[in-house]
Amino acid sequence: MKVTDLTHSIYSEMPVYPGTEQPIFQKANTLEKDGFQEAKITMYSHTGTHIDAPAHMLKNGLYLDDFEIDQFIGKAMIIDFSKVKTPYMELDQLRPYEEKIKSVDFIILKTGWSKYWGKPQYYENFPSLTEEAAHWLSGFKLKGIGIDAISVDDMKTATFAVHKLFLKKDILIIENLTNLESIDNEDFIISIMPLKTKHADGSPVRAFSIT
């Protein structure tokens, strides 16, 4: 059994979605003063490698804590767009995988953009799904769609149409994945377990694969 970490570390100067505050780590207790160490962490619910719940963008949408725990683990496959030099991931590029998609719980879109983590390029020109492609994918019985970039939508979007197409079908969105190149198997198990908090519109996760 091989377990592969697909998660970016959370730290105070880490990349975040434009307009979001970076995490704050404060020493609450120290060995010298209190005999133990403890930190106070302040961060947004969509920090780092994280998942979006339907409630993130939909009125009356489900929160993460409305899902059963098996929603966060399942059979996955990677669709590799890292060598495709186009600004969008289009339906015609997805159709060849139709039969395979029917047999998995999670689709992971590999763009190769995680190599730019911490650089200005991370926010620019990554391949994003067209609305047509997202609509087609939303027709499958999927638990989640993941990507190794900051968003499944184009950064210039004002409507977040791709997000909403998935979230309306209760398909979770996993963003800021990394290390996808370390997965060699065509099929694998992915776990994206969130923190168990009430009314969670999203949560950082420790994403990993099992092959």
Q: Give pLDDT tens digits for 121-173.
A: 999 999 999 999 999 999 999 999 999 999 999 999 999 999 999 999 999 99
Residue 89's beta-bridge partner residues? Answer: 129
Here the CATH number for the domain that contains residue 157 is 3.50.30.50
Q: For residue 84, what pLDDT is reported?
A: 85
CA 159 to CA 153: how far, in whole Å? 9
Q: For residue 100, what pLDDT is reported?
A: 97
Maximum alpha-carbon separation in the chain: 62
Neighbours of 44 (CB within 10 A): 15
Number of domains in the chain: 1
- In the predicted structure, residue 27 carries a pLDDT above the cut 90: yes
* 19 lies in some domain: no
* 28 lies in some domain: no
CA 94 to CA 83: how far, in whole Å? 14
- 138 lies in which domain range? 3-10+45-210
Q: For residue 186, what pLDDT is reported?
A: 87
* 113 lies in some domain: yes
Neighbours of 98 (CB within 10 A): 10
Q: Mind listing the pLDDT tens digit for each residue in 63-78?
A: 999 999 999 999 999 9
Report how far apart, in Å, the C-alpha atoms of 113 and of each of 98, 147, 175 are: 24, 9, 11
